[in-house]
Amino acid sequence: MRAYERFLKYVAFPTMSDPESESVPSTKKQLALAEALAAELREMGLVGVEISEYGYVYASLPANYFQIVLEITERDMLNQHEATKLFE
């Protein structure tokens, strides 16, 4: 997913606060965005993803995260190279 597509997905969440509320976050809808962000972070391979009672999202990169990304990229490049041979 491209960055602008992610942005459009995030801004579609109704996160308007409730000025009358004394809780944080002030609405349950604000937690829906936090849950979506947490799910995406897990899908990206981050670890220790958690949402605090206040709706803050925390996550950590595993030590081998960039190695995994490079391996995936190398595999994709190999697949593209093999595909290019089919059209030569």
Q: Tens of pLDDT along the chain (88 residues)? A: 788 888 899 999 998 999 999 998 988 889 999 999 999 999 988 899 999 999 999 999 887 777 665 665 555 655 555 655 655 5
pLDDT of residue 35: 95
| Backbone φ, ψ for residue 60 (5° rounding) | -130, 150
pLDDT of residue 4: 86
| Backbone φ, ψ for residue 36 (5° rounding) | -65, -40
Q: How many CA atoms lie within 13 A of 27 on its CB side?
A: 12
Residues with Cβ within 8 Å of residue 45, at least 6 apart in sequence: 62, 65, 68
pLDDT of residue 56: 92
pLDDT of residue 44: 86
pLDDT of residue 76: 60
